[in-house]
Amino acid sequence: MAQQNSALTTALTQVGQANLSGDKRALYLKLFSGEMFKGFQHNAIARDLIMKRTLKNGKSLQFIYTGRTKAEYHTPGNAILGNTDGAPPVAEKTITVDDLLISSAFVYDLDETLSHYDLRSEISRKIGYALAEKYDRLIFRAIARGARAASPVSATNFVEPGGTQIRVGSSSNESDAFSSSALVAAFYDAAAAMDEKGVSSDGRCAVLNPRQYYELIQAVGSNGLVNRDAQGTALQGGNGVIEIAGIHIYKSMNIPFLGKYGTKYAGTTGQVSPGNTGDFIGPALEDASGASTGINNDYGTASEFGAVSAGLIFQREAAGCVEAIGPQVQVTSGDVSVIYQGDVILGRLAMGADYINPAAAVELYVGGTAPSAF
């Protein structure tokens, strides 16, 4: 019997071990990494909709603007040494990396042993969600700021176009933000404005509150105003499946919307809270100016955003994001795990965002007065 038990012990399968050797948790760590990245990628939509650059060996990245120049007639006999006005003018925009953004949890070994579900996998997804949420919120705030700004190219007689703000509807009611006909009209107005300002039609998109998005879904095909990219069940998927005036539409709970993130129920005519929303649905905008701890760019204060912003339409040049550290996961091991009988699981990234080309940014708003620049 002793011999049989010895054989069973020798043949024990280490399911977390790579090729029957090394760290017994090696594969668990890789699984966790994958879960964290899936959680981040599933929830972060802004990352692929704007200009993203990787930053190495520096704290900031410089973006150069070149304004337009003019044509002039040549005077016979004169040397051609460049336009007499010295055009085109050049300006710059610098985006600085904010401090390290983290989300972490301590997993106690005994809890893992007693738990009947995969504790690390579940925590990893939530860490990915937290990082993605913050990532998107900062970028969308930067785009909204750009929609209110003038162009950095401001030389006399060579001023470039700035951002655009478009009112949804004609009343002072917040309910205009949810009117499909008013939204469609605003989209065509935004498309025309970007055309007039010389913004490329490639990469134009919009991000709306989910209820706005579903209002448009219900109006697909009516009066020929909304074009379909997909039919049937794909149309009901709810992730960028419709276009208006060549603008691809996404939905997000992370845009500045009527003073909150993604939604606002109190005082919004025709919009009833689903109830039991908890603490994380529709939180009020927080201060995220350069004076805030850990922030080195200006994403505005809550008061600067006000309570009238109702969606964003933009082209990919509207904003830029610099990443010094992309989404990563770190897990303690070795002596540290022995001392604390558990592991700290950490998701981290270092990024910064700001508007680049204001002409490529459009902010939708409701009410009689457009929100002010900051």
Q: What is the CATH number of the domain that holds 138?
A: 3.90.1690
4 in a structural domain: no
79 in a structural domain: no
pLDDT digits (tens, 9 = 90+) for 201-255: 999 999 999 999 988 888 776 655 655 555 555 445 555 567 899 999 999 999 9
3 in a structural domain: no
54 in a structural domain: yes
* Secondary structure (3-state) at 323: strand
| Beta strand pairing call for 247-251 and 242-244 | antiparallel
Which pLDDT does position 33 carry in this prediction?
Answer: 67
Phi, psi of 362 (to 5 degrees): -130, 130
What residue numbers bound the domain in which 182 lies? 26-67+88-365
pLDDT digits (tens, 9 = 90+) for 95-127: 999 999 999 989 888 887 777 667 788 888 889
| Beta strand pairing call for 204-208 and 90-96 | unpaired
Which of 90, 28, 50 lies closest to 337 in space, CA to CA? 28
- Reported as a pLDDT band with limits 50, 70 and 90, residue 8 is very low
Mean pLDDT of the chain: 85
Number of domains in the chain: 1
Is residue 349 within 8 A of residue 323, CB to CB? The reply is yes
Return the biggest CA–CA distance within the chain.
Answer: 110
Q: What angle do CA 233, 236, 238 make, to 5 degrees?
A: 135
- How far is Cα 182 from Cα 270, in angstroms, rounded to an integer? 15
9 in a structural domain: no
What is the pTM assigned to this prediction? 0.85
